[in-house]
Structure 1
């Protein structure tokens, strides 16, 4: 049974320290349901993407907690955790439930509340997505891990700091027009390069911020949508998911993300499209180098050429392959468990023609969500309805 997205909603991304995960999730879940003309009792399941609830909020078992918070305490519920790909993994499980016939209506949401802790605690919590024995105990954090990936990539392909900085410049510029984005300020290449070093060669503006927020979509079968006279905002053309070794040293290359490449190929096959058919993409740019490697994993650029996308303007909103019109993780923010769902909310706006950074004639959209340094990845292809 084909799956469609009936509606979606998102909070702003940024500092919501005065709130809680149940309040943030409840806000977007009820907004999405109301937008679709549904109630919590119409749901067959509530799926929640969350990574750090038990590490930051001392709160686990979020599935039933958040189902209860939206008025669906008896509905089947579960939390999905796949590090920074938790949102994408949550959505894919909702789609599989619909396609298998096990459910007709699933709320797929994600939430993260990170600003309750100081930066050292957040960094330590995020490090749970790396290999504790071989990476964390040796002093590596994710800025350091992505710095290793960036340094190797720059060595292999003669890419400069300024080339990487162009990704941040593009995405921060896109964020200015997005009312949901955490940052509303444009940057220059010089400002990115000269910002505070965090792990050479990466500096502060090469990295996404600490963010709070929630996003949700209502996933329904085509039959359910027809029976309820719903007006879906997007069709799900294909999904893909893959994994890789957790630790960098166990991979064949640290300048590639093969899990994302495999997930993309699976999604393309299911959707019956190629990368050339994609009109707009939201990709996981937790660091500037991550967007570059994402573009190559998706097949949009050959190895070593991904940095040219931002430098040459090809990945701008009006470019030949628009990437992260939302501002991406760098500009919009990265509330880890919500990010993958938030990408889909942004893309449904593109397909409806109502995005603040609208890509002309967007009909096929792609979301790329990565966990850790590439050990897990999901890719989703959406189409208009």
Structure 2
């Protein structure tokens, strides 16, 4: 089977840039990816682009061809939407087509412009990733939804706000020096516990920020890399996708995320590995409790045991399985359409040894990206390995 290599990665800084359009952001990330890959734009056979709220934040639909133009590419282009997992879904599509020998060179990525809406507007826009009939109309927002999940976890398995605070502290530590991160400042447990509440038991520092930004990857087949002398030592060796009921009220569990279980199981089987083989991971920590749920669904911890991982130091840069060495969504930022492929870009740099935190995983060979949509009604997992 054809192997999918990551030839180049590109990221904008994540943060508050309300005057920059989505096309400007994606064009910048794409330019960086092409420079990193040393692959000509003329060789791109298609563009796969992830975006969630473009119609609301920019009054712009039909973004596929627009973003191909912004990237300087004349090739068919399609937009993918799966809430916060939009570019993860775009990536899975690209991986499968290269493997099936449909194409050899694909530009895949995503972008989101959010801060121009303001906090209230962005919160309202994000809310449409929930069930409009049964959740949105009742006033549900994602801070409220994840607060319900956190309360359910505490009730069923134990743990407390201090455990979650250690997740936030860890990810802020990891973001230090990451030039792409929105928040490059350290916090301590007391900062988290004393911060204003957002939705009990979650406070301000339990929540990811509203962000603008873009990410892009140039993917190539191993045959193309060999024939064209492209140095691409990192491959995507496993891909998986899972789903769950949209509304929380319809789910069997509030304190588990079966969509992540299903996506992980498929990705592990595809790559021929298990969770014990993963050296580090980037997981979807839109709220601190989301990281805990991801750790358990990915098989790194048994159900009910992930809550203390950060507090025990097991998921820090010095731990057994470092998690979110980029800073995660919590500190790096979360421009939702860009997040999935930004995780893969960070893992690629970590595996290549050219990331600010590469020393923490100097001998690593396997990384994992976990990208979730909504309250994990959708999930994409990708396994990445050093292959040459």
- 1:1-385 matched pairs, under 5 angstroms: 1-73=2-74, 75-358=75-358, 359-384=361-386, 385=388
Summarize deviations over 1:238-260 as a string: whole Å, max 9, x none: 00001111000111101000000
1:319 match: secondary structure: coil
Give distance in 1, aligned partners of 2:115 and 2:275: 37
Deviates more, 1:225-234 or 1:297-306: 225-234
Mapped to 2, the partners of 1:69 and 1:110 lie a distance apart of 12
Separation of aligned partners in 2, 1:34 and 1:165 = 39
In 2, distance between residues paired with 1:280 and 1:346? 11
RMSD: 0.9
Judge conservation of contact 1:248–1:254 (CA < 8 Å) in 2: yes
Aligned equivalents of 2:104, 2:60: Cα separation in 1: 29
Deviation at 1:35, TM superposition (A): 2.0
After superposition, what is the alpha-carbon deviation per residue over 1:331-368, rounded to whole angstroms, capped at 9, x for unaligned?
Answer: 10000000111101110111112221122311100000
Deviation (angstroms), 1:233: 4.2
* In structure 2, C-alpha distance between the alignment counterparts of 1:187 and 1:36, rounded to whole Å: 36
- Please state whether the residue corresponding to 1:218 is helix, strand or coil: strand
Q: Distance in 2 between matches of 1:121 and 1:32?
A: 31
- 2-structure distance, mates of 1:78, 1:22: 14
Q: Post-superposition, which runs of at least 4 consecutive aligned residues in structure 1 deviate over 4 A?
A: none
TM-score by length of 1: 0.98
Cα distance in 2 between the residues matched to 1:333 and 1:383: 25
Contact 1:7-1:233 at 8 Å conserved across structures: no
For the residues of structure 1 that align with 2:225 and 2:26, how far apart are their CA atoms?
24
Separation (CA, whole Å) in 2 of partners of 1:159 and 1:71: 50
Secondary structure of 1:118's aligned partner: helix
Matched length: 384
**Contact 1:353–1:362 (CA under 8 A) maintained in structure 2:** no
Instruction: After superposition, give the CA deviation of every residue in 1:136-158 in whole Å (9 maximum; x if it has no partner).
Output: 11111000000000000011112
Q: Deviations over 1:1-60 (max 9, x none)?
A: 221111101011001212111111011112211222222211110110100111111111
**Contact 2:240–2:265 (8 Å) recurs in 1:** yes
Unaligned runs of 5+ in 2: none
